[in-house]
Amino acid sequence: MDWLLIIVLLPLLAAAAVGVVPGSQRRAIRSITIGASGLALLCALIAFCSFEVGGGLQFETKVVWVESLGLHLHLAADGINIGIILMGAIVAFAAACCADDITHRVKEFHILLNLMIGGILGAFASMDLFFFYFFHELALVPTFIMIGVWGRGARRNYATYKITLYLSLGALLALIGLIGVYVQTGAESFSIPDLIAKVQESPIDEAAQQWIFPLLMFGFGILVSLWPFHTWAPLGYGAAPTATAMLHAGVLKKFGLYGLIRVAIPMAPVGAQSWLGVLAWLALANLLYCGLVAVRQKDLNQLIGNSSVAHMGFIFLGIASLNVIGLTGAVLVMIAHGLLAALAFGLSGHLYRQTGSLDMSRMGGLLRQMPLAGSALLMALFAGCGLPGFANFAGEITIFFAAWSAGLKTVTVIAAWSALVIGGLYMMRAIRCILHGPLGGDWAKAGDVSPLIATALGLLLGALLVFGFVPGLLTKGIEGEAAKIVRLAKPAER
Amino acid sequence: MNTAAWLIMLLPLFSAAAIGLGVFRSRKASAAISVGAVVGSFLLTLLLVAAGDDLHPSVTWLAIGGLQIDIGLQINGLSKLMLCVVTGVGSLIHIFSLGYMKEDRDISRYFAFLSLFVFSMLGIVLADNFVMMFIFWELVGVSSYLLIGFWFEKPSAADAAKKAFLTNRVGDFGFLIGILVVWAALGSVEFGDLAKAVSGETAMITGLAGFLIFCGAMGKSAQVPLHVWLPDAMEGPTPVSALIHAATMVAAGVYMLCRVFFLIDGTWAMEAVAWIGGLTSLLAALMAVQQDDIKRILAYSTLSQLGYMVMAVGLGSPDAAMFHLTTHASFKALLFLGAGSVIVALHHEQDIWKMGGLRERMPKTYWTFLIGTMALCGVPLFSGFFSKEAILDVALENNLLLFLVAVFVALLTTFYMTRLFIVAFMGKPRSSHAEQAKESPAVMTVPLLVLAVPSVIAGYFNAHAPNPLVLAASLGVLVFGMLLANSAYSGAKADPLPARFGRLAKALRDRFWFDEIYQWLIDHVQENLAKLADAFDRWVIAGLLVRGAHGTTELAGRVLRLAQTGNLQTYAFWFAAGMAVLLVFTLS
Amino acid sequence: MEPTLSQYLLVSGALFAIGLLGVIVRRNLLIIYMSLELMLNAANVALVAMSRFNGNLDGQVMVFFIITVAAAEVAVGLALIVALYRKRQTAEVADLATMKL
């Protein structure tokens, strides 16, 4: 079965379906979105379960689009992206469930939401460089519109400008890099497997690699909020509607990391060798610096945004280690963080709807007021500071081992400090301010989450716990692919 | 047998999950599930002990490249002993909690957390490798956090929980780095493999790793300088203080040191461990002398006894440390539960100067508390006597200075425990609550009576002939301490020491200002760094760089806009003029 | 006397210049519009003259095209101007500045 094609087409069809429903039928519109993403989740789950570890590319769909340019719609899954697609489908479903806080222009919002979901899932399923980029843009543009039109807060317009400029710039740099890859390989094809086969025979000219890799690294890096290009993230997520923040922070942001692993390192291994040291230190800046910034935040969304930027540091560090353990850990954290970020933004969206403010100094005692949401937030914050039992811990500790064995010892020590102590500090502070203590002033009338949202958040939490208890579900598949990439990048150590 | 081993650990997890998923429903069922799970674990432990075999079942948790992390259960003599302590004391404390927490509306949540704690603690006890131990180490930290902050609406409890968690995290940082060092140097994290790989050549690196790992123990076992969280942790419910902060979790650090003793054996880390232990026991005993809160006195006493155990490990005798750990677990749990019984009877009054005269009113609590006190002070033939003797023996053999410290600590221990006992139980009631105090119900007194038994007899299992010098010293300080305390406090209405010693007493009462110094450090270093990063983010990156780029673009736009008058005819003029110029160029 | 090509082109250029001047300086939409027509016709004159002197009919075909298109354009343009006049009661370009920043 072409599960991937179905997964990608379902949301796009749902976007079309929402387009023909009259805008007053809000319930129908929401049901279409939730139904489509639910079905996509089901398909992703079936695909994940029937995925054969070590079986190469699976669930392939290949449609010729422009023969002369070598453009194909090529969807396929291997050990790395099958997990990410499943995570994306879970987050998409949860985001669809959490989208009922939109009350005006519901139809337009849901069209964009479905387009974004389709784009996200398509980007991670594509094995063709062109569609890989195309689907990403398909998801990115609705993000900007959604923040601009349905966003919240006084600085919404500024946030929209900023996120649009930053992300467009990042996407542009990456595009130049990708074109560079295409031209330099001379493969006459946009297919990633073809390109990899080509560079295995005749690697890209080393001088060219020295400019292709940094372009890709910073281009993709900006998309993932690499320090010092990170300031768009907390601001943008603070202003974004709940569903958008969940999808972007959870899944779409991982595109840059995925691109680094999938394209940049295999295509320009020599460039990677000389630039990954820089990446490791920037990763450390993400972890330490953004962690410290998070400590100072008074607004819950700013705190989650900054801590999410800090967590990107782990993934960059894993990539910079450039060994099997590190790349596997990086993908593991990508998946874990996707689930976690969606959970955290879903919860903060619920809190925001109660009083229209996320000022932590005015909260307090919410664990009593809203036991379900409170417990979920408690667990999310624990997961965020790397508590074992959640998938984040499995990934983070793997990355520590990887970075240490890659010889990045100073970086690892400081990273461990920021993960354990600084991470603990801001998360504990948040729990203390929001959940513990006497009930805060405006919160006496606040209600708990609705059953629908509770289901969605429960799903995210459940996935975090399952992958935390049995990380082997993911790592077995990832490891093989990571090993291939490492062999490409370091032929000497074969 | 392997199934039994897994069940010991998993029963409490199932209980926690079951209560968690059905939380806020039936309170009685939750309590019953939790108590049933820990008693079940205890019975299975007894089964394992009876069977007598060493077991080592294991499954792979994570395997990537050269990194292999198992979840394996190592069941040998050491872990069996610890299993008995944890599940045995745990069972009694669960039962005691049924009475103590009866009135609380969140009793389901309480038992869920307690089960989670027992699960995590058993994970530490059974762990066969460092990463697994670290995993459960963190889980124990979290369950301790949840239980300290159980009454989370009380700001002091919430703050204490936060402090405990963060202080432990500082220790865990060292632990994690230690694990990485060991793994890089010896290529494995499994205790069995490591024990084989350790040799004379690796002493330097394993010493370093051992010390870093000891940092983790410093956090959990509350050794100086990471001891500050333990007294505050008394904000939690009293059975929690008994279980976690006296008998089991705080002993985890000592247990771990014994478990991985091969790593530090014969390295420089031993010396450091011994001195940190000795220092902790001395400082904590001094601080205990001037506390007024019954639970805090016991907390400092716990610190001091943990210092003893750590010192024993550092002096090369994990056996003595484990011996003291076992006896201490029973009598300190007894003392805490006794204190809990008193606190409930006095409607949550914890100041010993508002007690008094409880001897007649609460006879069962009185007698069991007396047994606990005697065991802690090391009265001959009680359990504490034998285990303390063992540690003093080791100290005398290895380090005379530390021996003197240990003897002085024994004197202080006798002094502050006698003070507590006289002030709280003897004399006349000093408050209306104390006058109306009644004995606690059977569900609370029976665990006291049961715990009193090992507090008396636990020492005989490992007794050996004492060194005469040690015997003389310990008996001497025992008698001297009791007489001193008796003369100072018998019939006293208020503490006479502050008047007599002034500044020194104040230093002890203020716990040598550790908290204040840390607060100052946090305020001035951590906060300033965070402020700096935040300001940099706001002003330099968001302000200067981003605004700068934005500003230049905008300025260029403004200048170019001058040409854009918006008047179509002007455009037409420029257009025509441009065409004319072009024509002139192309035609000429 | 038969006029020479340069004389035709001179007339055409003069007409074009007058038309351009009218477009640039006049303020009334209708007059600007007429000036625009003048410029178109200046081009027509040039095309016809070229066609005549080169013995090639392509230019005259072009002129028919232009006349047709211009007729359509006049219809649309005048309709717009009339609609604008009805709405605003003016045909002065200076008054039609609501889109200006």
| CB–CB contact A429 B138 (8 Å) | no
pLDDT-derived band of residue C94, with 50, 70 and 90 as boundaries?
A: confident
Buried b (16+ CB within 10 A) or exposed e, C71-98: eeeeeebeeebeeeeeeeeebeeeeeee
| Mean pLDDT rounded to a whole number for chain B | 85
Q: Is some CB atom of chain B closer than 8 A to the CB atom of C101? A: yes
**Crossing angle of the two packed helices A79-97 and A451-469, in degrees rounded to 10:** 160
CA distance C40 to chain B (A): 15
| Contact (Cβ atoms closer than 8 angstroms) between residue A304 and residue A241 | no
- Report pTM: 0.83
C-chain residues near B566 (CB < 8 A): 97, 99-101
Which of A189-193, A245-249, B157-161, C39-43 has the weakest average pLDDT? A189-193
C27/chain B closest Cα distance in angstroms: 9
What is the chain C residue with the closest CA to B580? C17
Tell me whether B576 touches chain C (CB under 8 Å). yes
> Is the CA virtual torsion A195, A198, A203, A205 positive or negative?
negative
Nearest CB to A424: which of B135, B153, B165?
B165
Please determine, for residue A493, whether its predicted confidence score (pLDDT) is greater than 60. no
Q: Is a pLDDT exceeding 90 seen at residue C18?
A: yes
Q: What is the pLDDT of residue C100?
A: 61
The phi, psi pair for B22, rounded to 5°, reads -105, 30
Put simply, the answer to whether B155 touches A471 (Cβ < 8 Å) is no
Shortest CA distance from A418: residue in chain B: B173
State how far Cα B35 lies from the chain centre. Answer: 23
Please report the pLDDT score of residue A494 as a whole number.
42
Comparing CB atoms, the residue among C20, C93, C101 nearest residue B576 is C20
Peptide bond into B225 cis (omega under 30): yes
Coarse DSSP helix, strand, coil percentages of chain A, rounded to the nearest 5 percent: 80, 5, 15
Q: To probe the interface with C, which of B558, B568, B569, B570 has the most C CB atoms within 10 Å?
A: B569
The CATH number that domain C5-96 falls under is 1.10.287.3510
Any chain C CB within 8 A of the CB of B566? yes
C70: contact with B, CB 8 A cutoff: no
CB contact under 8 A, B566 and C23: no
Distance, in angstroms, between B574 CA and closest chain C CA? 10
User: Which of A296, A388, A398 lies closest to B534 in CB terms?
Assistant: A296
CB-based contact, B525 to chain A, within 8 Å: no
Assess B64–A contact: CB distance below 8 Å, yes or no: yes
**CA neighbours within 13 Å on the CB side: how many for A188?**
2
Instruction: Compare all CA atoms of chain B with the CA of C96 and give the residue at the minimum distance.
Output: B567
Picking from A300, A287, A220, the residue whose alpha carbon sits closest to that of residue A252 is A220
Q: For chain A, give the mean pLDDT.
A: 86
**pLDDT band, very low/low/confident/very high, at B24 (cuts 50, 70, 90):** low
Query: What single string gives the DSSP state of each residue in B440-479?
Result: PPHHHHHHHHHHHHHHHHGGGGG--PPPHHHHHHHHHHHH
pLDDT for position A117 = 92
- In chain B, whose CA is at the least distance from the CA of A326? B64
Q: Which of B66, B153, B533 sits opposite A437 (nearest CB)?
A: B153
By three-state DSSP, how is residue B431 classified?
Answer: coil
* Minimal C-alpha gap between C1 and chain B (Å): 30
A231 touches chain B (CB under 8 A): yes
**B352 within 8 A of B294, measured Cβ to Cβ:** yes
Report, as an integer, the average pLDDT of A4-16.
90
Q: Is chain C in touch with chain A: ≥3 Cβ pairs within 8 A?
A: no
Q: Is B63 helix (H, G, I), strand (E, B) or coil?
A: strand
Q: Which residue has the higher pLDDT, C72 or B102?
A: C72
- Which chain B residue's Cα is nearest to C36? B572
Is some CB atom of chain B closer than 8 A to the CB atom of C17?
Answer: no
**Three-state DSSP class for residue A20:** helix
Give the span between the Cα atoms of B391 and B324, in whole angstroms. Answer: 8
pLDDT band at C99 (very low <50, low <70, confident <90, very high): low
pLDDT given for residue A352 in this prediction? 87
- Inspect the interface and report whether the beta carbons of A404 and B184 lie closer than 8 Å: yes
Residue A357 burial class via C-beta count within 10 angstroms: exposed 0-12, middle 13-18, buried 19 and up: middle
Q: Is A touching B (3+ C-beta pairs, cut-off 8 A)?
A: yes
Q: Given this model, what pLDDT does residue A210 score? A: 86
Question: Is B572 within 8 Å of C23 when comparing Cβ atoms?
Answer: yes
C100 to chain B: which residues are within 8 Å by CB?
566
Q: Does C98 touch chain B (CB under 8 A)?
A: no
Q: Which chain B residues touch A371 with a CB distance below 8 Å?
A: 23-24
Using the Cβ of A438 and the Cβ atoms of chain B, whether some distance falls under 8 Å is answered with: yes
- Indicate yes or no: CB of C97 within 8 angstroms of CB of B568: no
More confident residue, C42 or B394: C42
B86-141 pLDDT tens trace = 898 889 888 888 888 888 888 888 888 889 999 999 999 988 888 999 999 999 98
Q: How many CB atoms lie within 10 A of CB B375?
A: 31
Sequence-distant (6+) residues with CB within 8 A of B560 are none
Does residue C99 belong to the interface with chain B, where contact is any CB pair within 8 Å? yes
Q: Which of A167, A168, A296, A429 is the best substitution to test chain B (most B C-beta atoms within 10 A)?
A: A296
Task: Name the percent of chain B lying above pLDDT 70.
Answer: 99
What pLDDT shows up at residue A492? 62
Give the gap in angstroms from C-alpha B185 to the nearest C-alpha of chain A. Answer: 10
Does any CB of chain B come closer than 8 Å to the CB of residue C31? no
pLDDT digits (tens, 9 = 90+) for A424-436: 888 888 888 888 8
pLDDT at residue B582 greater than cutoff 90:
yes
Rounded to whole angstroms, the Cα distance separating A87 from A477 reads 15
Phi–psi pair at B345, nearest 5 degrees: -65, -30
DSSP letter for each residue of A367-407: HHH-HHHHHHHHHHHHHHTT-TTSHHHHHHHHHHHHHHHTT
- Yes or no, beta carbons of B569 and C20 under 8 Å apart: no
User: In chain A, positions 324-363, which contact chain B (CB-CB < 8 Å)?
Assistant: 324-325, 328-329
- Distance from the Cα of B548 to chain C's closest Cα (Å) equals 25
User: Is the CB of residue B416 less than 8 Å from the CB of residue B505?
Assistant: no
Interface residue of A436, A475, A486, A487 to substitute, partner B, most B CBs within 10 Å: A436
In total, the C-beta contacts within 8 angstroms joining chain A to chain B are: 129
pLDDT of residue A330: 92
CB contact under 8 A, C97 and B566: yes
**Which value does ipTM take for this structure?**
0.89
Gap from A68 CA to chain B (nearest CA, Å)? 40
Q: Which residues contact A451 (CB under 8 A, 6 or more apart)?
A: none
Q: Which residues of B touch C32 (CB under 8 A)?
A: 569
Do B41 and B32 meet the contact criterion of CB atoms below 8 Å apart? no
Which of B135, B534, B546 lies nearest to residue A293, judging by beta carbons?
B534
**Mind listing the pLDDT tens digit for each residue in A329-379?**
999 999 999 999 999 999 988 888 887 778 887 887 788 888 888 888 889
Chains that touch C (3 or more CB pairs under 8 A): B
Compute and round to an integer the Cα radius of gyration of chain B.
31
- Closest Cα partner for A102 from A29, A12, A11? A29
Residue C97, chain B, CB below 8 Å: the answer is yes
Nearest chain C CA: its distance from B541 CA (Å): 32
- Over residues A115-125, the mean pLDDT reads 91
Is B573 at the interface with chain C, CB within 8 A? yes
